[in-house]
Amino acid sequence: MVLEFTERGIYCPAADAYIDPWRPVPRALITHGHSDHARPGHGAYLATEGSAPVMRHRLGDIQMETTAYGVTHQIGDARISFHPAGHVPGSAQIRVEVGGEVWVASGDYKTINDGLSEPFEPVRCDTFITESTFGLPIYDWPAQHALARDLNDWWATCVADGKRAVLGVYALGKAQRIMRLLDPAIGPILTHGAVEATNRVLRGQGISLPDTVPVVDGVDGKSHPNAIVLAPPSALGTTWMKRFGAVSTGFASGWMRLRGVRRRRAADRGFVVSDHADWKGLNAAIAATEADRVFVTHGYTAQFSQWLGEQGYQAGIVETEFGGEDLDEAEETAA
């Protein structure tokens, strides 16, 4: 096989390299900068130019080579290239060709063009390795304009009620995507340290973001009464929130599509938004690859693999340590 599934990660024998390994390896090919895919401890890293700044910010001084999208690298007997995944800025699918056979490892991806990440591009292959974080028909994402309307209506209502809107968002990708949808006429955008640190990295690589106000001493509900606050989900409900006085809390996640999740999150408002593909997006992406065989990684693996088999694909399940939308606490609190 072009790629093998091992206890360290997805391995390419022809290149002697691993894709998004979860154990330390000599050579790692990284799809994007989220902590469940870009882990510390590898000997050498290869990632896109767009992922590198965040990876260096989070992983420190690592040995890393970067690549542009679409450039073919001959590594051993394998031809390897990176292609846009649409998940977060710099995210990539990794194409591996050995002896004329082509496999593509998707990493995390979404097919909606969010205006922030490089849009997803289907890559023709024989075998496709796909995520399935939201691999059930219930997951159907609203349009960007509808999401923007709902966010701004909630924020404006909070201001009218004398409350600060505090929204739980992941620090890389979703936070920046949402702040681009916010109406600056309503008020300022305040950011938790983890979100602002990521903002600085992305701005440093030329990505345009709205003005934000970092939450430091003296920045609170009194100084910015009309503000919306963007913070990692782990910050909601902690003493960090006390500085804002009366608040209304929201949570932005694909899991908000499920009844009961917002209640368990103790949020006043849930917004259905994800940087992973929904049911329609997953199926469209797989069809566009023209692959005959599909391996399903994290998410609803059993259900989605069964569905693909019923559609005529050779489908299988791969056990990985990728986290999907449930990123670990280190991801959320890293500043």
Looking at the structure, tell me whether residues 129 and 148 fall in a common domain.
Answer: no
- Residue 128's domain is classified under what CATH number? 3.60.15.10
Residue at which a domain ends, from 271, 295, 314: 271
Q: Is the full-model pTM beyond 0.85?
A: yes
Same-domain pairing of 176 and 90: no
Based on the domain organization, do 98 and 195 belong to the same domain?
no
Statement to judge: residues 123 and 233 lie in one domain: no
User: Residues 119-150: pLDDT tens digits?
Assistant: 999 999 999 999 999 999 999 999 999 999 99
Quick one: pLDDT at residue 329? 36
pLDDT at 333: 39
Q: What percent of the chain has pLDDT over 90?
A: 91
Give the percent of the chain with pLDDT over 70: 95
CB contact set of 161 (below 8 Å; sequence gap of 6+): 248
Mean pLDDT on 162-181: 96
CA distance 152 to 201: 26
Give yes or no: residues 250 and 164 share one domain. Answer: yes
CB 5 within 8 A of CB 14: no
Task: Decide which of 249, 271, 293 is a domain's last residue.
Answer: 271
219 and 154, same domain (yes or no): yes
Query: Sorting pLDDT into bands at 50, 70 and 90, what band is 334?
Result: very low
Number of domains in the chain: 2
List, as own/partner pairs, every contact residues 303-308 make where C-beta atoms lie below 8 angstroms and the sequence separation is at least 24, other chains included.
303/132, 303/135, 303/136, 304/132, 304/135, 304/136, 305/132, 307/135
For residues 29 and 114, state if they share a domain. yes
Model confidence pLDDT, tens digit, residues 227-250 = 999 999 999 989 999 999 999 999
Query: What is the pLDDT at residue 267?
Result: 84
Query: At 330, is the pLDDT very low, low, confident or very high (cuts 50, 70, 90)?
Result: very low
d(CA 65, CA 182): 36
> Residue 261's pLDDT band (boundaries 50, 70, 90)?
confident
User: What's the CA gap between 36 and 324, in Å, rounded?
Assistant: 8
Residue 287 and residue 252 in one domain = no
Q: Report the CATH number that the domain containing residue 214 is assigned in CATH.
A: 3.40.50.10710
Answer yes or no: do 203 and 98 share one domain. no
The boundaries of the domain holding residue 185 are 144-271
* Residue 335 confidence (pLDDT) above 50: no
**133 and 168 share one domain:** no
Above 60 in pLDDT, residue 89?
yes
Shared domain for 226 and 164, answered yes or no, is: yes
Q: How far is CA 120 from CA 18, 117, 183, 257, in A?
A: 22, 9, 27, 23
Euclidean distance between CA atoms 176 and 208, whole angstroms: 10
Q: Are residues 113 and 21 in the same domain?
A: yes
Please check whether residue 294 is in contact with residue 308, taking contact to mean a CB–CB distance below 8 angstroms. Answer: yes
CA 75 – CA 55 distance, rounded (Å): 22
**DSSP class per residue in 250-270:** EEE-GGGGSTTHHHHTT-SEE
pLDDT (tens digit, 9 = 90+) per residue, 179-223?
A: 999 999 999 999 999 999 999 999 999 999 999 999 999 999 999
